[in-house]
Structure 1
Amino acid sequence: MTESGNPSQPANVNEYTGIHIQVLEDREAIRRRPGMYIGSIGERGLHQLVYQVVSYAVDEHLAGHADVIDVTITADGGIRVADNGRGLPVPAEEPTGKSAVELELTELSFGSRPRSRYGVCGGLSGLGLSVVNALSSRLTVEVHRDGHRWTQEYEKGTPVTALTRHEETDEHGTTIAFLPDADIFETTRYSFATLSERLQELAFLNQGLAISLTDERPVHYHHADGLRAYVTHLNPYPPSLVHSPAIGFESENEDETIFVQVAMQWNTRSPGELRSFANSTRTHEGGAHEQGFRTALTDLVNDYARRQGQLSADDEDITAEAIHESLTAVVSVKLTHPVFEGSTKTRLSNPEANAYIQKVVRQHLTHWLDHNPNEAAAIIRHILNASTGHRKQ
């Protein structure tokens, strides 16, 4: 793969010589332009790494040498894929002198391999395990073949140990464990549901193949930052955020009968989402607390925009739709005497919740906007752009 020199300086045709050509090794090329090989550095590309390794194991099944594939999300967030196929070849290959395992894990291969007539497309156009290796902070391969167990370790696509022969064994198969590189991917958290759906598809499509999926990640929930952490969880892509961190505030009335918590953050990626809760129960149909939040936010944003000169006296008010577009917010109220509509408790009816949350939002959000003028200006600009888009529709 080649890449031109400094893109900021246009090349003079008469001066364009071999010195201007930068030749990238496979590993460096993959790490510099990961999207060219896996299509995305988001969740889709992250899961493609798993599919590529699994595709090798499925090929072994199609060739008649494997009937079990075990996929594990390890406790550290990595992936381990084990099959009972023949095992990757271990003898050294001429003229490189490298083992076939190392060649498979370090060199791009655009051609087909003699595995089966119906090779599985792992989403990487058959480019090989080297892509997975190059985009992993570490990778370990374990092969049971030729009467022994063999292992080799890699870091960011580069071998850090030689292929090592261990104890004798009559087992056969390959296990590849890797940890995606957090410096490359937007997220390194695998979705059990996403992997489960694809692996079940492969089991349907390949009769007789047994595939398992195990999640070893410990489950422990503790969020000292409360609802702000919740909003951060719902907005996982930092480049899309209009402001950071999320806005958060809470308040309790004098009678100690209503306690309100709010967190909110605008972004450019999602259409917006408001999640509301009453006494820790999700109110899917909203109700008084949601209505109070929406009313106060709409009034406050218009007042603030006019006060700051971002909206003139002759301009129409910004609509609630534009203000709530791409806003992720969580509203939680706890009441001594909550009143719900219906037995499923999906809509809150307490009128005092509406009034009190309006008071809290106006007081605390105004304070935040006044004390964070740069972030506040960015939010208003974002909302005004959304408002313009709505008027054009």
Structure 2
Amino acid sequence: MSEYSNDPELIKSIRAKPGMYFGSIGARGVEQFVYELVANVIDLYLANKATFARVEIDGSTISVMDDGVGLPFDEPSDLDGVSLATKFLTHVHWKRSRDGHVPHVHIKRLGIGIAPLNIASNRLTVRSWRSGLLWEQHFSRGIPQSPATVVEEGNGRGTKIEVFPDAEIFGEAKPRLGVIRAALFEAVHLYSGLKIEFHQERFHAHLGLQMLGFMLLNPLSLFTNPDPLPFHVTLRAENLFIEVAIFGEGLRKSIFSWVNGVITPDGGSHVEGLLQALKDVNWKPEIGLIHLVMLDPNFAGPMRTKLDVPQMRKAIRDALREPLREYRSACKI
């Protein structure tokens, strides 16, 4: 099978069995539209190609805007007369990401790609700035309704995708605003510096997991533990992005963990590496938070509830040991 396919049978399969791709044909299914579009912006952010996403939901219409480098409407694909951007939007890919880029992250647990999203939409409109030109193209159920055209020239930047999930698949289901808000709020804490606007709110956490940790911490511990600011570090090591925040002292510790943007409630190799590093410095904290983004494309797919990549255990332990020792020494602990 080729890396891309718009086989009519595959399109029929996506529309006939959408639950296999979206996890649900109810509210959770249409919420996946938001997560997929925002995750694409986060990929750009991690590659230093975008700084924010703006999410708007009006009934069943979902729009996501960014300030990124734009979709490659100005680049040809290997299909005659079809731009690379149009191919991305219409052809299902079988790689971890449509163009093999890393990092590649997710929100929640699914990662469906933009083409299945397009196929399951009654209509999708994309407007994207690229090299001084604003391109526009319209789709219905994954099929282009017109060629991509230039509608404006100037110095604009970014992409806006507006999508209306198909009622034939999802009925009257609409995204739950509270659920979306919670997911976006968490996302900015997982990616320090990222900005996300949602309706009239703007989320931004320049200290990432440290700010999230304060919200998870037992308020009483702020009075009973006189420690200075918590341990907080962001590292890159061995094709990994690692962010860790550690708080206080406690007989019963709680560890919160994520991999590639997805929470891992059952922990796994990254948590084991963190616990080993904490043991090395004789620290039994009240809570710890760790987010691991793996740059190896082999690990760029959606994460399950537990990370089982044994080599990550040593990599994280080695990366954290010295920063933890320095912190404990500076705190005279």
Distance 1:116 1:93, change over 3 A: closer
Distance 1:95 1:140, change over 3 A: closer
CA distance in 1, matches of 2:108, 2:142: 19
Match of 1:89 in 2: 72
Match of 2:94 in 1: 110
Partner secondary structure for residue 46 of structure 1? helix
Match of 1:64 among 36, 45, 48: 48
The CA deviation at 1:31 is 0.8
CA contact (8 A) 1:133 1:139 kept: yes
Match of 2:166 in 1: 181
Distance 1:24 1:115, change over 3 A: closer
CA distance in 1, matches of 2:178, 2:192: 22
Match of 2:145 in 1: 160
CA contact (8 A) 1:60 1:116 kept: no
Partner secondary structure for residue 137 of structure 1? strand
CA contact (8 A) 1:63 1:115 kept: no
Q: Residues 1-393 of structure 1 correspond to what in structure 2 (within 5 A)?
A: 24-74=8-58, 76-90=59-73, 91-113=75-97, 114=99, 116-122=101-107, 126-214=111-199
CA distance in 2, matches of 1:37, 1:127: 6
CA distance in 2, matches of 1:202, 1:43: 20
CA contact (8 A) 2:43 2:102 kept: no
CA contact (8 A) 1:72 1:79 kept: yes
CA distance in 2, matches of 1:184, 1:53: 19
CA contact (8 A) 1:37 1:124 kept: no
1:285-315 superposed Cα distances (whole Å, 9 cap, x missing partner) = xxxxxxxxxxxxxxxxxxxxxxxxxxxxxxx
What RMSD over aligned residues (CA atoms) do the two structures have, in Å? 2.0
Amino acid paired to 1:88: L
CA contact (8 A) 1:110 1:127 kept: no
Q: Which has the higher strand share?
A: 2
The CA deviation at 1:202 is 0.8
Amino acid paired to 2:18: P
1:100-156 superposed Cα distances (whole Å, 9 cap, x missing partner) = 121111111121345753211245754410111111111000101111000000111
TM-score, L = length of structure 2: 0.54
Distance 1:124 1:156, change over 3 A: farther
Larger radius of gyration: 1
Match of 1:341 in 2: none
Aligned-pair identity (%): 35
1:325-356 superposed Cα distances (whole Å, 9 cap, x missing partner) = xxxxxxxxxxxxxxxxxxxxxxxxxxxxxxxx
CA contact (8 A) 1:71 1:79 kept: yes
Distance 1:115 1:168, change over 3 A: farther
Return 5+ residue gaps in structure 2 as ranges.
2-6, 201-333
Return 5+ residue gaps in structure 1 as ranges.
2-22, 216-393
Partner secondary structure for residue 38 of structure 2? helix
1:232-259 superposed Cα distances (whole Å, 9 cap, x missing partner) = xxxxxxxxxxxxxxxxxxxxxxxxxxxx
CA contact (8 A) 1:60 1:85 kept: yes
CA contact (8 A) 1:63 1:116 kept: no
CA distance in 1, matches of 2:119, 2:35: 15
Runs of at least 4 residues of structure 1 off by over 6 A? Answer: none
1:367-392 superposed Cα distances (whole Å, 9 cap, x missing partner) = xxxxxxxxxxxxxxxxxxxxxxxxxx
CA distance in 2, matches of 1:62, 1:115: 14
The CA deviation at 1:82 is 0.3
CA contact (8 A) 2:36 2:112 kept: no
CA distance in 2, matches of 1:66, 1:112: 21
TM-score, L = length of structure 1: 0.46
CA contact (8 A) 2:60 2:173 kept: yes
CA contact (8 A) 1:52 1:124 kept: no
CA contact (8 A) 1:111 1:126 kept: no
CA contact (8 A) 2:50 2:68 kept: yes
CA distance in 1, matches of 2:132, 2:122: 30
The structure showing larger relative contact order (alpha-carbon pairs under 8 Å, at least 6 residues apart) is 2
CA distance in 2, matches of 1:51, 1:210: 15
Partner secondary structure for residue 183 of structure 1? helix
